[in-house]
Structure 1
Amino acid sequence: MIFSGTALVIVFLASGLGKLRRPAEFAGSIRAMRLLPAAAAPAAAILIIAGELAAALALLAGLTVDATPLVYAFALSAALCVVFSLAIITVIRRGASVACACFGRRASAFSARHVVRNILLAALAIAGLLGADTGAASWTPETAITIAAGAALSLLVILMDDLADLFA
Structure 2
Amino acid sequence: MTVVFAVSALGKARAPGEFRASVREMRIVPLRALGPVAAAVPVLEALLVVAVWVPALTSWAFLLSFGLIAVFTAALASVLHRRIDTSCSCFGASRTRVGPAHLVRNAVLLAATAAGFAAALAAGGPGSVPVAGSLDPAGVSVALLGAVCVSALVLSTDLLADVFAGTGGAGRRTS
Could you tell me how far 1:166 is from its partner in structure 2?
2.4
- Tell me which of the two structures has the higher relative contact order, counting C-alpha pairs closer than 8 angstroms and 6 or more residues apart: 1
| Higher helix residue share | 1
- Stretches of structure 2 that go unaligned for 5 or more consecutive residues are 125-129, 167-175
User: Structure 1 stretches (4+) deviating beyond 3 angstroms?
Assistant: none
Structure-2 separation of matches of 1:44 and 1:15: 15
* Deviation string, structure 1 residues 5-62 (Cα, Å, up to 9, x no partner): xxx0000000011101111110010000111222322211111111111111112x23
Structure-2 separation of matches of 1:10 and 1:130: 19
CA RMSD in angstroms comes to 1.6
Between the two proteins, the alignment pairs up a number of residues equal to: 156
- AA matched with 2:90: C
TM-score (norm 2): 0.82
Structure-2 separation of matches of 1:107 and 1:58: 31
Report 1:140-151 matches (<5 A).
140-151=137-148
Structure-1 separation of matches of 2:103 and 2:161: 14
Could you tell me how far 1:139 is from its partner in structure 2?
5.8
1:98 is aligned to 2:86: yes
* Deviation string, structure 1 residues 54-109 (Cα, Å, up to 9, x no partner): 111112x23xxxx2211111001100110001001111111110112010111411
Match of 1:45 in 2: 38
Structure-2 separation of matches of 1:141 and 1:115: 32
- AA matched with 2:147: G
Match of 2:155 in 1: 158
Contact 1:28 1:41 in 2 (8 A): no
TM-score (norm 1): 0.86
Match of 1:87 in 2: 75
Match of 1:5 in 2: none
